[in-house]
């Protein structure tokens, strides 16, 4: 049900003159449930509060107690219980350990809510006045936009630098090995003991000509062989779960959190808003028992694996995200959709794999000399798969989304120092340095977490907000700032550099943690921020100039021959005449992705399965692309996915 009391939407709702006292109201859609709670509380001698095990949950429990107390219910009648999974055993265990409400956690939630309200409701009207109506600023969302804008500027300012590499394709001159055709590739790394830097084609060709000389002797100068252990990834936190779901399943953060919420409510996984790596001893023991029975004792380490958590707040030392019953695999689930099953499977495999033995690789490094040049070839083969037997099926990826090279075997032949080699081919290759990539949802969350900005419960709302406000847009699943986002960011950076500075925002998060840990009082903390902020706000309001948002001009024209520019409305992008408001011509905006899919669809010549009319590409008001019948509204057939049948055949529904 969420919060039963909250700050009002239409006004600030914080009394800045009286210690920032929040002025709570009961939202219209919660009034019935509140009346029901009051009625039940009035007839009950004892009340157990069992809301979510985090700050928000503690605050909701406190609000319920406040409402119930108004029904002549004494505070000492309330017990608070906490559990991290909705299972019979967990609830029964929690009932044995009731406690009073943790007002330190409540204070931390109140402080966050008040702080965000003060920033949002004070800055937003200023943005309306200085930039455009309907804008909003947020303590954390503005920092996220700043990161995206600054990354875009890095990309725009980037100047590629040319460099070359030289690869040698070799094989042993030994006739036995030659018959086995054991070719391998080695990369040039040094000349006369110094690192080789090849800046242009001329230098690369000069090296190749020198090495292709018939007198060049290629031989093995060094062989190093060792075992490399790859340890399993730790169990999921909110951050790593959303990152992995994005990389491996293509899910948005919002979708992942919604699916995880459903799985949690069904008692299938532990609480999904967490930054902890902690695992219950009973869960670890169950996993170890399962691993031994399913995979064998060689896949079970001698002792359980425990991972050090990053959480600074002892009271919020939740468990990691794991499945509640390790014996329930995804194929046994009775869930609402295939996507629920896929996310569950990912969580299950990550949890089980974290308790398995290391993967062991046999690594061989060969150093090859050719005159004054040194080449190196490194090969890895799996000696024992360990945890990767399970998790590599998901094509596990590194946190930044790059393919994990540890899964790609690369063999080099078994050679000895002094063995002579035959050169088969020398390949010079041109490269250019690349700009930093745009943020994806996964890499943005990873960066926010690394910089200490936001918390598990805020990642999805942050991303939703900056997209809904049209400060950024997703282009091929990567964030690109809009002209509106750039203008808003530049105004805030110029006038409120400290308030939306990464380090300052991270410091505020730490202070909220200290409030939750009882090391800091919330009112002095807010006052320390607000007093100088309010004075600065007044100064900017009087002195800052109005900002003009740059229009994004297109090649298209209106019927009267004027250029069309990109505008933003309640449902996203649309095209409008540059002479607006004199000329009010508008047109639906079609993204590059839309055009590509439209061209693809035209080639397929699909027919609607209901009416037989051609299938066409359409967009929702929010810009989401789907396939529909050209005979709409008579025929309302539609599909999110491209149907399989092609060549004029009837599309699959």
User: Any idea what the CATH number is for the domain that residue 448 is in?
Assistant: 1.10.460.10
Of 467, 478, 617, 483, the residue nearest 553 (C-alpha): 483
Residue 285 has pLDDT above 60, yes or no: yes
Place of tokens 């943790």: 102
Residue 1 covered by a domain: no
Contact at 8 Å (CB) between 323 and 268? yes
Sorted by sequence, the CB contacts under 8 Å of residue 429 that are 6+ apart come out as: 164, 165, 166, 167
Q: Is 204 in the same domain as 300?
A: no
Q: Are residues 72 and 116 in the same domain?
A: no
Give domain status of residue 645, yes or no: no
Q: Are residues 386 and 247 both part of a single domain?
A: no
- Tell me, yes or no, whether 615 and 532 share the same domain: no
- Nearest-CA neighbor of 220 among 68, 354, 416? 416
Q: Which one has a higher pLDDT value, 325 or 589? A: 325
Asked, for residue 273, whether it belongs to a domain, the answer is yes
Beta-carbon contacts of residue 240 (< 8 Å; ≥ 6 apart): 233, 234, 399
Is the domain of 267 the same as that of 348? yes
Q: Is the pLDDT of residue 23 over 50?
A: yes
**pLDDT, tens digit (0-9, with 9 covering 90-100), for 391-425:** 864 444 444 334 444 445 678 888 999 999 999 99
The tens digit of pLDDT for each residue in 576-620 reads 887 777 777 887 776 666 777 777 787 778 888 888 888 888 877
Is 325:267 a contact under the CB 8 Å cutoff? no
pLDDT at 646: 40
pLDDT cut 90: percent of the chain above it: 64
The tokens for 321 are 């995200």
Higher pLDDT residue, 161 or 476? 161
* 96 and 174 assigned to the same domain: no
Q: How many domains does the chain have?
A: 6
CATH number at residue 421: 2.70.20.10
Whole-angstrom distance, CA of residue 570 vs CA of residue 470 = 10
**Least-confidence region, from 261-265, 266-270, 569-573:** 569-573
The pLDDT of residue 180:
56
Query: Is 7 inside any structural domain?
Result: no
Q: Which residues, at least 6 apart from 214, have a Cβ–Cβ distance to it below 8 Å?
A: none
- CATH number, residue 74: 3.40.50.140
Which residue among 129, 163, 264, 271 is the active-site one? 271
Same structural domain for residues 141 and 67? no
**For residue 625, what are the domain limits?**
592-639
Q: Is residue 251 part of a domain?
A: yes
pTM attached to this predicted model: 0.84
Are both 29 and 125 inside the same structural domain?
no
Q: What value does the mean pLDDT of the chain take?
A: 88
SS3 17: coil
Burial profile 490-503: b = 16 or more Cβ within 10 angstroms, e = fewer: ebbbebbeebbebe
Last residue of a domain, one of 432, 460, 484: 432
Give the tens place of pLDDT for each residue, 354-397: 999 999 999 999 999 999 999 999 999 999 999 999 986 444 44
Residue 106 lies in a domain: no
Note whether residue 651 is domain-resident: no
374 and 347 in a single domain? The answer is no
Task: Kindly report the backbone phi and psi dihedral angles of residue 473, in degrees, each rounded to the nearest multiple of 5, phi listed first.
Answer: -140, 160
Shared-domain flag, residues 194 and 151: no
Q: Is 163 a catalytic residue?
A: no
In angstroms, rounded to a whole number, what is the distance separating the alpha carbons of residues 424 and 212?
10
Q: Of 408, 432, 456, which residue is a domain's last?
A: 432
DSSP string, 470-482: TSEEEETTEEEE-
The span from the CA of 187 to the CA of 376, in Å, is 5
pLDDT of residue 622: 59
Assess if residue 255 is contained within a domain: yes
Residue at a domain's end among 478, 509, 543: 543
Return the closest-CA partner of residue 199 out of 161, 154, 248.
Answer: 161
């Amino acid at each position: 049900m969420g919060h039963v009391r909250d700050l009002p939407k239409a006004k600030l709702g914080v009394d800045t003159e009286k210690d920032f006292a929040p002025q709570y109201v009961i939202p219209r859609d919660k009034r019935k449930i509140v009346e029901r709670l009051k009625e039940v509380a009035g007839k009950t001698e004892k009340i157990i509060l069992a809301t979510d095990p985090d700050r928000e949950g503690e605050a909701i429990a406190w609000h319920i107690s406040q409402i119930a107390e108004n029904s002549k219910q004494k505070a000492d009648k309330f017990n608070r219980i906490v559990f991290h999974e909705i299972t019979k055993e967990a609830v029964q265990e929690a009932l044995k350990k009731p406690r009073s409400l943790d007002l330190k956690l409540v204070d931390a939630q109140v402080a966050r809510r008040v702080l965000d309200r003060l920033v949002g409701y004070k800055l937003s009207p200023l943005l309306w006045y200085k930039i455009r109506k309907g804008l909003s600023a947020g303590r954390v969302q503005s920092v996220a936009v700043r990161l995206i804008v600054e990354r875009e500027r890095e990309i725009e300012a980037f100047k590629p630098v040319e460099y070359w590499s030289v690869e040698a394709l070799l094989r042993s001159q030994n006739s036995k090995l030659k018959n086995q055709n054991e070719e391998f590739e080695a990369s040039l790394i040094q000349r006369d003991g110094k690192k080789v830097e090849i800046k242009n084609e001329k230098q690369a060709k000069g090296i190749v000509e020198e090495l292709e000389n018939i007198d060049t002797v290629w031989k093995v100068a060094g062989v190093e062989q060792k075992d490399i252990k790859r340890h399993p990834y730790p169990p999921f936190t909110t951050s790593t779960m959303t990152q992995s779901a994005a990389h491996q399943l293509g899910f948005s953060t919002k979708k992942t959190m919604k699916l995880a919420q459903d799985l949690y409510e069904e008692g299938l996984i532990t609480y999904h808003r967490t930054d902890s790596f902690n695992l219950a001893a009973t869960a670890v023991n169950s996993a170890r028992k399962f691993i031994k029975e399913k995979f064998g004792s060689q896949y079970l380490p001698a002792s359980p694996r425990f991972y050090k958590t990053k959480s600074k707040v002892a009271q919020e030392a939740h468990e990691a995200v794991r499945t509640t019953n390790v014996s329930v695999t995804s194929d046994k689930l009775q869930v609402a959709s295939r996507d629920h099953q896929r996310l569950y499977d990912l969580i299950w495999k990550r949890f089980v794999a974290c308790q398995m033995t290391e993967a062991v690789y046999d690594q061989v490094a060969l150093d090859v000399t050719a005159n004054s040049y040194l080449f190196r070839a490194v090969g890895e083969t799996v000696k024992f798969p360990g945890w990767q037997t399970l998790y590599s099926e998901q094509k596990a990826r590194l946190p930044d989304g790059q393919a994990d090279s540890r899964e790609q075997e690369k063999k080099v032949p078994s050679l000895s120092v002094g063995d002579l080699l035959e050169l088969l081919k020398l390949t010079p290759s041109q490269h250019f340095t690349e700009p930093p990539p745009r943020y994806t949802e996964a890499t943005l969350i990873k960066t926010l977490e690394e910089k200490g900005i936001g918390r598990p419960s805020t990642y999805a709302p942050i991303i939703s907000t900056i997209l809904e406000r049209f400060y950024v847009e997703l282009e091929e699943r990567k964030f690109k700032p809009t002209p509106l986002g750039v203008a808003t960011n530049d105004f805030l950076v110029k006038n409120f550099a400290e308030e939306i500075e990464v380090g300052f925002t991270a410091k505020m998060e730490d202070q909220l943690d200290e409030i939750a840990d009882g090391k800091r009082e919330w009112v002095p903390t807010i006052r320390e921020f607000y007093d100088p902020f309010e004075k600065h706000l007044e100064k900017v309001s009087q002195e800052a100039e109005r900002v003009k948002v740059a229009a994004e001009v297109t090649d298209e024209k209106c019927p009267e021959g004027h250029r069309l520019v990109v505008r933003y409305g309640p449902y996203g992008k649309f095209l409008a005449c540059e002479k607006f408001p004199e000329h009010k011509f508008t047109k639906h905006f079609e993204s590059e992705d839309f055009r590509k899919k439209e061209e693809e669809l035209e080639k397929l010549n699909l027919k609607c399965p209901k009416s037989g009319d051609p299938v066409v590409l359409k967009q929702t008001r929010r810009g989401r692309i789907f396939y529909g019948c050209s005979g709409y509204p008579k025929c309302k057939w539609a599909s999110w996915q491209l149907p399989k049948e092609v060549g004029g055949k009837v599309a699959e529904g």
